[in-house]
Amino acid sequence: MPTEFLYGVEVVLNGLMAGVLYALVALGFVLIFKASGIFNYAQGVLALFAAMTLVGIMEGQVPFSHLINAIFGTEIHHFGWHIPAIAAILLTALVMVALAWCVHTFVFRHLVGQEPIILFMATIGLAYFLEGVGDLMWGSDIKTLDVGLPQGASFWIEENTAFLGGEDFYGFFIDKLDIVATLVAIALVAALVAFSQYTKQGRAMRAVADDHQAALSVGISLNFIWVLVWSLAGFVALVAGIMWGAKSGVQFSLSLIALKALPVLMLGGFTSIPGAIVGGLIIGVGEKLFEFLIGPAIGGATENWFAYVLALIVLVFRPQGLFGEKIIERV
Amino acid sequence: MKDTVEPYVTEDGRQIGGILMEMKNITLRFGGVTAIEDISFDIREGEIRAIIGPNGAGKSSMLNVISGFYNPQEGEVWFRGEKRPPMRPYQVARLGIARTFQNIALFDGMSVLDNIMTGRLTHMQRGLFAQALWKGGAEREEVENREAVEKIIDFLEIQAIRKTPVGRLPYGLKKRVELARALAAEPKLLLLDEPMAGMNVEEKEDMSRFILDVNDEFGTTIALIEHDMGVVMDLSDRVVVMDYGKKIGDGTPREVRSNQEVIDAYLGVAHD
């Protein structure tokens, strides 16, 4: 096979794997938007906060240690223990549930029935608040997150695909972390879909997304479902935080991955779980292929804007996204 | 006969039991507007109880008080011999009071089957984790509930549309699906808010038949609001008549029909 083509395949594979991660972040948005009509600007910060908390718990960092030391003149920073990754992930998941409860009880519970723009502003506030709390709790330094995921290029894949091409092809270059992230994301998406389709709470979640009044009349507590939805979004953020954090360190820029989810949502539609997945894949593959095929001709760095332009084009022709519910206004 | 709470048997052979629900001196206000003023009545086990009245009489408000969507400023609500504290609608639903809405509140994105399954939520006891992991009898529970739902689907003759998304159904069928969802909860008390509004004659006849059959076969107590006087008189055992937020009549259809105040309200005699 021609080497050019094989490199193209490699680009598509890498794009697919990046796309799965975009889809993961977008999924967090879709979950909350469907159930409560809130466009959660804080989803990215949620991922950052989850990753910071995970690192903090694993390394036995004392939360708010800077604050405590400043007030009491003490010098405590660490509990002096290290917690295994699995236990730390479970603890962080609990923290995310507690956070979900707080977010709903102290903020959004009081804003039920408000205009979407007000809910949106509240999530912006929440984003900055959480960012500040995260820094205060765990410090603002860049942290490395190592939960024991394999890293680096997979030599096995390289060696075993080298035969596909000629002399100048050395096999597909694929990061092991990307493979793991893809598998985890696929498992998470499958679990979420199964949960919402086949369980009592999942059915209740879809019911609330559809009609609040009817949901109440069949005995569904809206508050419970909203806390549940925020918790699920927290889990998704945790997984996204682990993957991106392991890849490029836990730092503020982690929260910007939320911006990458925006074009995914415009493409897939804000209300569609399959839309978020397919949208993520299209953007992932699209931006890598575009960079590979056309990038060199126009000076590169197309990955920064390609997704937004693609989303813009889709918006012009299908404002509801590829999979969103069609908006029909009755006259 | 109607003034006692002794059980009795109706002319068509249905068993009417003791008092299931009692509203005592209910007053409901919205700001300065009084929607319901000092109304008392009871609903007995096994009966079909109608609430009628002209537009704006406060009928829907009364139904919303019973189902917990509104909490009255004054008065007491008694259910199954106990005073009910102020409650949220989902808590009332869990007590075994199911309802339909005047403007149909269904889950449009879900299939008919899924819609009716949501009516079973109050019967599903398995916890979040058992559900998520599909263990601890959660699967058996799902199967049992599916069977209950299939029975109701057969009963209301909607087998043909089981898998259809509700949003695509015509109005009359939507009303029937909503009834099915309420029935799926196996309620002690079933509240129907204008079950026949906007229907043609044939659909009305079907719906009347279903309401009578539900009451007859499952012994479900039904309270309904209806505009169509003819329908109400044929269906119900006892009727409460409301006008301008007040109760102006209460009794069998025959008694109510000969009540001068009721005739005035319906024929539009000027209020003083």
Q: What is the pLDDT of residues A229-269, one digit of tens each?
A: 999 999 999 998 998 888 888 888 888 777 778 889 888 88
Q: What is the pLDDT of residues A207-224, one digit of tens each?
A: 988 888 999 999 999 999
If one counts every other C-beta atom within 10 angstroms of the C-beta of residue A165, the result is 18
Cβ of residue B106 closer than 8 Å to a chain A Cβ: yes
Taking CB atoms and an 8 Å limit, are A199 and B131 in contact across chains? Answer: yes
Q: What is the pLDDT of residues A5-55, one digit of tens each?
A: 888 888 898 888 888 888 888 888 888 888 888 888 899 899 999 999 999
Query: pTM to 2 decimals?
Result: 0.84
Q: How far is B260 from chain A (nearest CA, A)?
A: 37
Q: What is the pLDDT of residues B250-269, one digit of tens each?
A: 999 888 888 888 888 877 66
Residues of A in contact with B138 (CB under 8 A): 199
Residues of B in contact with A221 (CB under 8 A): 88, 90
CA–CA separation, A215 vs B257, rounded Å?
38
Cβ of residue B109 closer than 8 Å to a chain A Cβ: yes
**Predicted local confidence at residue A227, as pLDDT:** 93
Q: Is A274 exposed, middle or buried (0-12, 13-18, 19+ CB in 10 A)?
A: middle
Cβ of residue B102 closer than 8 Å to a chain A Cβ: no
Q: Which residues partner with B34 through β-bridges?
A: B29
Place of tokens 């126009």: A298
Res. A96 pLDDT band, cuts 50 70 90: very high
Q: How far is B21 from chain A (nearest CA, A)?
A: 18
pLDDT, averaged across chain A:
86
Res. B272 pLDDT band, cuts 50 70 90: low
* Residues B184 and B154 sit within 8 Å (Cβ to Cβ): no
Taking CB atoms and an 8 Å limit, are A219 and B124 in contact across chains? Answer: no
Pairing of the two strands B48-52 and B238-243? parallel
**Predicted local confidence at residue B48, as pLDDT:** 94
Cβ of residue A218 closer than 8 Å to a chain B Cβ: yes
Task: Give the residue on B whose Cα is nearest the Cα of A216.
Answer: B90
Taking CB atoms and an 8 Å limit, are A207 and B101 in contact across chains? Answer: no
Taking CB atoms and an 8 Å limit, are A220 and B90 in contact across chains? Answer: yes
**Predicted local confidence at residue B2, as pLDDT:** 44
Taking CB atoms and an 8 Å limit, are A219 and B134 in contact across chains? Answer: no
Place of tokens 């694929």: A174
Cβ of residue A327 closer than 8 Å to a chain B Cβ: no
Q: Which of A190-194, B51-55, B132-136, B220-224 has the highest average model confidence (pLDDT)?
A: B220-224
Residues of A in contact with B121 (CB under 8 A): 200, 203-204, 218-220
CA–CA separation, B143 vs A250, rounded Å?
46
Q: What is the pLDDT of residues A179-204, one digit of tens each?
A: 888 888 888 888 888 888 888 888 89
Q: Residues of A numbered 176-195 whose beta carbons fall under 8 angstroms of chain B's beta carbons: which are they?
A: 195
If one counts every other C-beta atom within 10 angstroms of the C-beta of residue B190, the result is 25
Taking CB atoms and an 8 Å limit, are A216 and B99 in contact across chains? Answer: no
- CB-side exposure of A331: number of CA atoms within 13 Å? 0
Question: Least CB-CB distance to A221: which of B69, B90, B138?
Answer: B90
pLDDT at A291 exceeding the cut of 70: yes
Q: Element (H or E) spanning A315, and its range?
A: helix A306-317
* Residues A108 and A36 sit within 8 Å (Cβ to Cβ): yes
Closest listed residue to residue A243, CA positions, set A57, A15, A17, A32: A17
Q: How far is A309 from chain B (nearest CA, A)?
A: 31
Can you tell me the mean pLDDT for A293-321? Answer: 85
C-alpha separations of B27 from A2, B38, B101, B122, B246 in Å: 83, 5, 22, 30, 10
**Predicted local confidence at residue B130, as pLDDT:** 61
Question: Residue B40: helix, strand or coil by DSSP?
Answer: strand
Write down all domains in chain B, each with its CATH number in brackets: 1-96+189-208+221-272 (3.40.50.300), 103-186 (3.40.50.300)
Res. B1 pLDDT band, cuts 50 70 90: very low
Question: Least CB-CB distance to B121: which of A209, A211, A219?
Answer: A219
* Residues B97 and B69 sit within 8 Å (Cβ to Cβ): no
If one counts every other C-beta atom within 10 angstroms of the C-beta of residue A208, the result is 24
**Predicted local confidence at residue B141, as pLDDT:** 79
Taking CB atoms and an 8 Å limit, are B114 and A195 in contact across chains? Answer: no
Taking CB atoms and an 8 Å limit, are A203 and B99 in contact across chains? Answer: no
Residue B140: both structure tokens together: 């058996």
* Residues B67 and B191 sit within 8 Å (Cβ to Cβ): yes
Residues of A in contact with B107 (CB under 8 A): 206-207, 210-211, 214-215
Q: Residues of B numbered 132-161 whose beta carbons fall under 8 angstroms of chain A's beta carbons: which are they?
A: 132, 134, 138, 142
Q: Residues of A numbered 153-172 whose beta carbons fall under 8 angstroms of chain B's beta carbons: which are they?
A: none
Taking CB atoms and an 8 Å limit, are A204 and B101 in contact across chains? Answer: no
Res. B139 pLDDT band, cuts 50 70 90: confident
Cβ of residue A97 closer than 8 Å to a chain B Cβ: no
Residue A99: both structure tokens together: 């956070």
* Residues B147 and B84 sit within 8 Å (Cβ to Cβ): no
Question: Least CB-CB distance to B107: which of A202, A207, A222?
Answer: A207
The domain ranges of chain A are 3-317
Cβ of residue A30 closer than 8 Å to a chain B Cβ: no
Q: What is the pLDDT of residues B157-196, one digit of tens each?
A: 999 999 999 988 999 899 999 999 999 999 999 999 999 8
Cβ contacts below 8 Å, chain A against chain B, sum to 84
Closest listed residue to residue B204, CA positions, set B214, B189, B215, B194: B194
Question: Least CB-CB distance to B105: which of A195, A214, A220?
Answer: A214
Q: Element (H or E) spanning B154, and its range?
A: helix B138-155
Task: Give the residue on B whose Cα is nearest the Cα of A221.
Answer: B90
Q: What is the pLDDT of residues A62-80, one digit of tens each?
A: 888 888 888 888 888 888 7
